[in-house]
Amino acid sequence: MVENIHSDIKEIKEYAKDNNIPIMLDDGINFLTTFIIKHQITNVLEVGTAIGYSAIMMALASPNVKITSIERDRERYLEAVKNIKKFHLEDRITLIYNDATEVKFSDQFDLIFIDAAKGKNMAFFKKFSKNLTEDGFIVTDNIKFHGYVDKDEKEIKTRNLRGLVRKIKEYIGFLKDNNEYKTVFYDVGDGISVSQRKD
Ligand code: SAM
């Protein structure tokens, strides 16, 4: 059984690699799953499912965790549906096939994990923080954006990429200067931030 889980996870990771689908790096996912256990997280909102890898890993971290995850790409969403079935996690992972900018919830989540279009981090933070429990956390991945955030702008070749990096820097500034939330930045994986309301 455990062996099956390992080989099924390996298969998802290989599919992601072969199809150029970005999924969390190993130490990023370790950080996230450890965080879930440590803080006894029970209700996660994930923005950006891709093929369900991080959602499955979060669900496997604790039997008490439920995850709602949003994906706008049809092919990836369908692959995620398939993967979640394979792990028999349909009762704990709910997938929403839609653009996250269009999705509204009345539910409250104790962890909101932002891992979608990197230029929209701030918009998703503002939008979904309304659905965060009082002591809940907002975790954002790719804060370093493959090292580009620390590079001189002149070294970044395309205009698109420069624009994206600028938006991530703006997001970092927004988190650092935020009156309502305190944020800790972790140098793990591709850079992870953890925000929580100030006391
Ligand atoms: N969390 C996944 C994991 O580690 O297994 C990886 C997610 S991947 C980095 C980002 C995903 O977000 C992509 O599959 C992309 O299609 C999706 N995405 C981007 N913008 C989105 C949006 N506005 N609404 C919903 N999904 C979005």
In the chain, domain spans: 24-197
pLDDT for residue 196: 98
pLDDT digits (tens, 9 = 90+) for 22-53: 999 999 999 999 999 999 999 999 999 999 99
Q: Counting atoms of ligand 1 from 1, which one is nearest the CA of 29?
A: 4
Tell me 48's DSSP state. Answer: -
pTM for the model stands at 0.97
Candidates 41, 69, 42; CA nearest to 55 is 69
Category of 189 on φ-ψ map: left (φ > 0), alpha (ψ -120 to 50) or beta = left
Position of tokens 């990836």? 76
> Confidence class of residue 2 from pLDDT cuts 50, 70 and 90?
low
Pocket residue to mutate for ligand 1, from 45, 47, 76, most atoms within 8 A of Cβ:
47
- CATH fold of 24-197: Rossmann fold (3.40.50)
Tell me which residues have their CB closer than 6 angstroms to ligand 1.
22-24, 48, 50, 53-54, 70-73, 76, 99-101, 115-117, 120
Q: Rounded mean pLDDT of the chain?
A: 96
> Confidence class of residue 3 from pLDDT cuts 50, 70 and 90?
low
CA distance linking residue 37 with residue 70, whole number of Å: 22
pLDDT digits (tens, 9 = 90+) for 118-144: 999 999 999 999 999 999 999 999 999
